[in-house]
Each structure stands twice: as C-alpha cells, then as structure tokens.
Amino acid sequence: MTLDRKLIFDVRDLAQEIKQGCPALFPTDTLPALGVSPNNSQELWKLKKRPFDKPLILMGASKEELLENVLSFALEDAMLVAEKYWPGDLTIIVPAFGPSVKFLNKQENTIGLRMPNLELALRLLELTGPLATTSANLSGESAAITATEASSIFPKLPILGPVPWPSSEGVASTVISWQSRNQWKVLRLGSRPLDINWKK
C-alpha cells in the first residue's frame, strides 16, 4: 500500500494545517501519534470512535510549556520526573488546571503529559505548541506501528513525511500517575524500566 497525496514533507506546512484545526499523523519515539490543537480535541474522539471517558495526552516540545498548568502541590515532583526522563517514553498524569484539562479530560482535573524523544516530532511540536494526542488506531483496535498503517486507518488526514519514519520502540509509553508527595502509581509499563518510587 502506498501513502496518498496527504503526505506533507515540510514540517512548517503540516504545523499550519494543525493550527487551522486539522488533525494530523506524525511519528514519535514510541508509536505513531494522531494529534490536533487542544481546542479541537473533540475531533480525535470522533475519528477514533473513542469513549469520552478516555482522556487524551498533551504532547509538547518544552518541559516548561507542558508543566505550566500542573497544580502547585504536584509541580515539584512533576519537574523532577520530567528533568530525569524527558524527552522520552514516559507519560505522567498529574493534577492540573486550565482550559487544556477540560479539552483533554472530560472526567477529572488531571492531565497526561509527554515530551517525545524524536527530533522530527519535536520540530513539529515547537511550531504548533503542545498538541492533544493519542495513538493512531480506532478505539479498541491495535495501534498502528508504521506510517503506512496509520495512514490506512485515517486515509483523509495529512501525514508528516518523509517516510518511512525513523525507527521507534513500537511500544506505547510507560504511564505513571501522581499519588502524593514523591509517590507515583504505574498505570502502564512501556519498554523502559524506571527507578521511581512506585505506589503499590
């Protein structure tokens, strides 16, 4: 299968489409991402046929941008983890405030944050600002691993070139949730073990 005419080679052009409200496909260090500006996040739930009680992730190129809405009592822990593991395959879920929380999480005042360790993704995110993201698959189905797989699931969406994309882990990121001071709970294990104080 070949990719359709929605392949965009200039990261600046794709960033402009995203800023205009269009969802797009791009690579990360783990799995291909489906992303959109946070204020258009409802498009991702529709595209994936995803239940609204399943939150989205805010992905960005800057620790400062991602952490700016973390509530003060969890901020120090979030900063310590971000400094140690970002960019990388770790998503942190933390108490937060502001519009982005409501755009990405319909149920709770928490937000999932991640900074990917892939230059191509970071260049895009630098131009767009943090994006609402999720894996490139229909809800309940296996996540796409390659650009071709992602585009076959969402053939009408623009996709970042060139392809094939840089090799990635092919495994979703580890997800941890802040519980209390210096305590985190593992919600999903990815490809890399982490030496954080886990709450059992």
8 A C-beta contact, residue 56 and residue 175: no
> Over the stretch 130-141, which tens digit does the pLDDT of each residue have?
999 999 999 999
Residue 60 CA, distance from chain mean position: 8
> Over the stretch 13-34, which tens digit does the pLDDT of each residue have?
999 999 999 999 999 999 999 9
CA atoms within 13 A on the CB side of 197: 9
Q: What is the pLDDT of residue 7?
A: 86
Indicate whether 169 pLDDT > 80.
no
Indicate whether 3 pLDDT > 80.
no
Taking CA 106 as the corner, what is the angle to CA 40 and CA 152, rounded to the nearest 5 degrees?
Answer: 50
For the ranges 41-50, 178-187, 189-198, the lowest mean pLDDT is seen at: 189-198
Q: What is the pLDDT of residue 190?
A: 86
8 A C-beta contact, residue 33 and residue 27: yes
Indicate whether 198 pLDDT > 80.
no
Full set of structural domains in the chain with CATH: 7-188 (3.90.870.10)
Using CA of residue 49, residue 23, residue 27, residue 55, what is the dihedral sign?
negative
Q: What is the pLDDT of residue 199?
A: 55
pTM above 0.85, yes or no: yes
